[in-house]
Amino acid sequence: MHMLDILARDARTASFEFFPPVKDSGWDLLFTAIRELEPLAPSFVSVTYGAGGGTRQRTNDLVLRLKRETSLDPVPHLTCVGHSRAEIQAILERYAAEGVSNILALRGDPPKDGSIPKAGDFPHAADLVRFIREFNARGVHPDPRGFGIGVAGFPEGHPETPNTLRLMDHLKAKVDAGADWICTQLFFDNRSFHDWRERCDLAGIRVPVIAGIMPVLSVANLHRMADLAACTHIPAKLMRALQRCGDDAQAVERVGIHWATEQCLELLDRGTRGIHFYTLNRGDATQQIFRNLGLKSTASLR
Ligand code: FAD
């Protein structure tokens, strides 16, 4: 379903992010998690795209399996780093033929091992958004509106643009190029999100903004995340709670799920348009957050 229709149907959205398995042996485990989460009837699910090349085909494979084997509506991420126009065009044509309705358009980060060339035909995500809009205008997609287009937002900043005014200009450029919605980087401090959200308003950004929430499920995963989502503020209160857990892995999960639940409660109270759960390919944690929120499924948010 086109994102504009999803947003018109769901007063608040809840969506889940999955990443394709790196090895063939990972498919069964991933689909167990997907089956656990399916009854929560998310507004959509998104599938990450490995800027590193190796898992790119698997994004398409997972999107197709989700379409064919589940009731879920997959939104593929597409990063343009290292891609030529012809390659992006071929990917869009394939997704259009497969009936995929939406794309989350990103630049991506070149892998640190240099396994793909830095340069591509699209220096920034805004260039990719513009290209998808042009593609949409050509009427190749079965939906006359073409793909719904989402972009990334960074409430706590992005390492390459320390100037927050300029970072907002770059977000606005993506919206002006034709983005329909924004999904944020994960954050643990709702105050950052609300302040940034106000700044989006001041910048004239009017498209719906979906907040990215990731439960901390292990300390190792928090460290990986701090690397991937640099600039993310990890509040002392959360750190203290995690430290109290010592090496009790289950206690860490409970703290992480509790923290994410509190974030979601506050976001919903404040009228946030949607919550995107970084599931880490696990079913149980997001299920528990839904239970804590008193939600049987996303339908309760509509
Ligand atoms: P851009 O909007 O292009 O911004 C990248 C940097 O360039 C920013 O610092 C921006 O300020 C700057 N910039 C933009 N325009 C200009 C300009 N005209 N001049 C100078 N500087 C400019 N990565 C993956 O590899 N795969 C994924 O599936 C994936 N999914 C993600 C999903 C979400 C919701 C989020 C928040 C991030 C995701 N990422 C993913 C990570 C993302 O690709 C990186 O954070 C990347 O560094 C920024 O991507 P972007 O789309 O925001 O790029």
The architecture in CATH of the region 3-216+258-292 reads: Alpha-Beta Barrel (3.20)
CB 106 within 8 A of CB 152: yes
Give the start-to-end residue ranges of the domains of the chain.
3-216+258-292
Strand partners, 104: 77, 150
What is the Cα–Cα distance from 49 to 81, expressed in whole angstroms?
11
126-139 tens-digit pLDDT = 999 999 999 999 99
Task: Take atom 44 of ligand 1 and give the residue whose Cα is closest.
Answer: 108
Distance 105 CA to ligand 1 centre (A): 9
Provide the whole-model pTM: 0.97
Ligand 1 binding residues, C-beta < 6 A = 48-49, 51, 77, 79, 106-109, 124-126, 152, 158, 160-161, 167, 170, 174, 183, 185, 212
Report residue 57: phi and psi, to 5°: -65, -35
pLDDT band of residue 34 (cuts 50, 70, 90) is: very high
Work out which ligand 1 atom sits closest to the CA atom of 128. 3
**Residue with more model confidence, 302 or 276:** 276
- Pocket mutation for ligand 1, best pick of 158, 163, 181, 184 (most atoms within 8 Å of C-beta): 158
pLDDT at site 120: 87
Q: How confident is the model at residue 30 (pLDDT cuts 50, 70, 90)?
A: very high
The percentage of the chain sitting over the pLDDT mark of 90, rounded to a whole number, equals: 92
Q: How far apart are CA 219 and CA 224, in angstroms?
A: 9
pLDDT of residue 51: 59
Q: What is the pLDDT of residue 50?
A: 85
Smallest CA-to-CA distance from 215 within 278, 276, 156, 291 is with 278
Q: Which residues are catalytic?
A: 17
Give distance in angstroms: CA of 250 to centre of ligand 1.
33
Quick one: pLDDT at residue 62?
Answer: 97
The residue nearest atom 40 of ligand 1, judged by CA position, is 108
> Of 110-119, 173-182, 231-240, 263-272, where does mean pLDDT reach its minimum?
110-119
- Average pLDDT taken over every residue of the chain: 95
The torsion defined by the Cα of 263, 266, 271 and 273, in degrees rounded to 10, comes to 10
- How would DSSP label each residue in 65-105? HHHHHSS--EEEEEE-TT--HHHHHHHHHHHHHTT--EEEE
Closest alpha carbon to 5 in 181, 210, 200: 181
Query: Residue range 3-25: average pLDDT?
Result: 96
Cβ atoms of residues 95 and 147 within 8 Å: yes
Q: What mean pLDDT comes out for the span 145-164?
A: 98
Residue position matching structure tokens 């907002």: 168
Mean pLDDT computed over 258-270 = 98
